[in-house]
Structure 1
Amino acid sequence: MHKSCFISFEGIDGAGKSTHIEAIAQWWQAQSREVVLTREPGGTPLSEQLRQHLLHDAMDPLTEALLMFAARREHLVQVIEPALARQAVVLCDRFTDATFAYQGGGRGFDWATLHQLETMVQSQPDGSIRQPDLTVWFDLDPAIAAQRLASARVPDKFEAQPQSFFEAVRAGYKRRMQSHPQRFLKVDAGQTVELVRQQVLSGLQRWWQAQQGQGTAA
């Protein structure tokens, strides 16, 4: 029987995390695993609608946080939990750490309120809180991220924020990692695409082998 696995990918805009998710999906598929690729905010029809509002409409910080968690609740109920129940591998482009980093760090929103929402939305029947089994954090200097975004598509409201905002977001990610060090894999995203991919895949392999308690992944 395969073991389910939930991996999230985090980083400031421009860190390049989305570039590497497909390679990780292929690594799992090579082991005959069902892989569910999804994202936040989004992942369901309703959550994708909320995503459009979150990325493009101005709103009160509390409204923003509530919509993030509303989209997450639907995502969990409709996609993530059913996939994990059938022992699939779920690869999610952003999850709750992003809310703490962007709304808590970047917006300066109250972390205690975010913790309350996290508990309400992600609580499991056994009393635990659903979190990724592994979070890959693509850490990058905001100045480098800004250079990358300068040649990207028309920015959404988060991508258009000043460098100081992303410095606060990066600090939010660091604070979140310090609170959950056992599940974070920190990657230096300032290197070449090839070197970053090597970091991610080697780190993933070491982590999964440790989870299995043996020398080869299963």
Structure 2
Amino acid sequence: MGRGRFITLEGGEGAGKSTQARTLAGALADAGLPVLLTREPGGAPGAEAVRDLLLGRGWDGIAECLLHFAARREHAARMIEPALAAGIWVVCDRFADSTLAYQVHGQGVPRAAFDAIAGAALQGLRPDLTLVLDVPPGLGMARVQARGEVNRYDRLDAGFHERVRDGFAAVLAAEPGRCLRIDASATAPEVAAAILGAVTARLLPA
């Protein structure tokens, strides 16, 4: 069996990443593909422990970047790389682009620091396809408030969320071969259809 494919879903708060990751993983499984659905921060026992630290309090930007990549290294080494090597398709709710958007664009961490940390932690691991679920921050935050599950990122000001959106726009512009924008302001079924269409077109043979 060949190497599996690595698909990440990115975007700001309220974009629907978790719902769409589950839907995509289910669709791929229905198509007969072996699939691992996972998330960040977290996805492996050690990484989940770091997730609790990250979401439990605020951190200096570089410290937060380091914590994200500590969790990501554990996740990659323990879960993602072994799954891909075994021919399993990995669908991940957030990955390194979130740290670029949130910590570099949102918190002002120097890009050189991000690049150095990412290089050491990931050792060249990159998604085959990244779907950026784009939603205006006002709509995203309204969705967050409606579902009643607010974390510390959700409590940050509107300027922060605009900078995060700008960060994801920069990712899309820099790597169009890997990344694709999905309009997440549409209904959940419409977003799911757009995602499955993109995965089919880019990663599944005709």
Structure 1 residue 153, shift from structure 2 partner: 2.6
For 1:76, the equivalent position in structure 2 comes to 76
Question: Which amino acid letter does the alignment assign opposite residue 152 of structure 2?
Answer: K
Structure 1 residue 191, shift from structure 2 partner: 1.0
Equivalences for residues 93-104 of structure 1 within 5 A: 93-104=93-104
Question: Which amino acid letter does the alignment assign opposite residue 188 of structure 1?
Answer: D
Structure 1 residue 31, shift from structure 2 partner: 2.7
Q: Percent identity?
A: 36
Question: Which amino acid letter does the alignment assign opposite residue 147 of structure 2?
Answer: A
Distance 1:3 1:45, change over 3 A: closer
Runs of 4+ in 1 over 2 A off after TM superposition: none
Separation in 1, partners of 2:39, 2:110: 24
* TM-score normalised to structure 2 length: 0.96
Separation in 1, partners of 2:2, 2:126: 19
Is this contact kept in 2: 1:44–1:74, CA < 8 A? yes
* TM-score normalised to structure 1 length: 0.90
For 1:130, the equivalent position in structure 2 comes to 125
Separation in 1, partners of 2:94, 2:164: 13
Separation in 2, partners of 1:87, 1:25: 15
Is this contact kept in 2: 1:9–1:137, CA < 8 A? yes
Separation in 1, partners of 2:200, 2:100: 27
For 1:159, the equivalent position in structure 2 comes to 154
Is this contact kept in 2: 1:47–1:75, CA < 8 A? yes
For 1:188, the equivalent position in structure 2 comes to 183
Q: Which has the higher contact order (CA 8 A, sep 6+)?
A: 2
Separation in 2, partners of 1:150, 1:17: 16
Q: Which runs of 5+ in 1 are unaligned?
A: 124-128
Question: Which amino acid letter does the alignment assign opposite residue 25 of structure 1?
Answer: A
Is this contact kept in 2: 1:106–1:166, CA < 8 A? yes
Separation in 1, partners of 2:84, 2:115: 23
Cα-Cα RMSD:
1.2
Separation in 2, partners of 1:24, 1:134: 13
Separation in 1, partners of 2:164, 2:103: 8
186, 195, 202: which one aligns with 1:207:
202
Aligned residues: 206
Separation in 2, partners of 1:61, 1:131: 23
Is this contact kept in 2: 1:146–1:163, CA < 8 A? no
Separation in 2, partners of 1:21, 1:60: 30
Structure 1 residue 2, shift from structure 2 partner: 4.4
Separation in 1, partners of 2:117, 2:91: 22
Separation in 2, partners of 1:58, 1:193: 31
Structure 1 residue 30, shift from structure 2 partner: 2.0
Equivalences for residues 31-180 of structure 1 within 5 A: 31-123=31-123, 129-180=124-175
Separation in 1, partners of 2:22, 2:62: 33
Kindly provide the CA deviation profile for residues 193-212 of structure 1, in whole angstroms up to 9, marking residues without a partner as x. 12111111111111123xx4
Distance 1:121 1:25, change over 3 A: same
Separation in 2, partners of 1:82, 1:2: 13
Is this contact kept in 1: 2:3–2:85, CA < 8 A? no
Q: Which runs of 5+ in 2 are unaligned?
A: none
Structure 1 residue 3, shift from structure 2 partner: 4.1
